[in-house]
Amino acid sequence: MEGGYVLPRVGTVDDPLRLAVLISGGGSGLAALLTHQEVAARLHRTVLVVADGDVSGLEHGRGLGIPSKTISLPNVSDKVEQRLAHEALVLAELEAAEIECVVLSGYMRILTPSFVKRWKGRLVNIHPSLLPKYPGAHAHRDALADGAKVSGCTVHLVNEGVDSGYILAAEEVPVLDGDSEEDLQERVKKVEQILYPEVMDRLAAGAFSV
């Protein structure tokens, strides 16, 4: 087991773990997490939503009065500098909101090793395959092209690689004959939207050791 993971503190109902959720799209996973946090007292609470564009998913946060911000890529011509400058802006928001744990929920940017190091153990990703199978941005396409009969979803701590960090939980989802990418995506989303809020409960309860 690789080192460097520092898990979040244990949350309490009176002082829940302060989560930020990073998104890049419609935020269906974010919506599921917010519902989970609304329907009962939890050990974690989403206090900030950040998107890398002006996406519809921000409305899920705004509808509940949660600060929900777009942080676009800054206008810097050098791509490496641009990425670092963007992460610096994100980091400043996370620190200003006293965030203790960050969830990548459909966030389509790969974070730099220095950002990961700052959050390692407190940075959670939801990936729509059974890792280590089909990492990257096209998990469903890759699963279908491979003729997979089973796919699934994985909730993992982020490390410096791509979709390669410590696995907290995973669940299988069948691939059915004739599935399109969209069919598989929708079936996987249903499962991950139950799994990942539960994993956050366990993480905030101190149930994992790495």
Residues at the contact surface with ligand GRF, assessed by CB under 6 A = 23, 25-30, 57, 105-106, 126-128, 153, 188-189, 192
Looking from the CA of 59 toward its CB, the CA atoms found within 13 Å total 5
Query: Do the Cβ atoms of 50 and 20 come closer than 8 Å?
Result: yes
Residue pair 53/136 in contact (Cβ under 8 Å)? The answer is no
Any alpha helices (H) in the chain, and if so which ranges? 28-39, 58-62, 79-96, 113-119, 139-145, 181-204
Nearer to ligand GRF, 23 or 43 (CB): 23
For the beta carbon of residue 117, count every other beta carbon within 10 angstroms: 13
Give yes or no: 127 in active site.
Answer: yes
C-beta of 85 vs 135, nearer to ligand GRF:
135
Nearer to ligand GRF, 123 or 188 (CB): 188
Backbone φ, ψ for residue 49 (5° rounding): -120, 135
Helix (H) or strand (E) holding 73: none
Measured between alpha carbons, how far is residue 196 from residues 32, 55, 141, 147 in Å? 9, 22, 22, 26
Query: Cβ closer to ligand GRF: 28 or 164?
Result: 28
Rounded to a whole number of angstroms, the minimum distance from the CB of residue 207 to ligand GRF is 22
Catalytic: which of 60, 127, 140, 156?
Answer: 127
To the nearest whole angstrom, how small is the minimum distance from the Cβ of residue 113 to ligand GRF? 20
Residue 31 beta carbon to ligand GRF: minimum distance, rounded to whole angstroms: 7
Shortest-Cβ-distance residue relative to ligand GRF: 106
Positions annotated as catalytic residues are 127
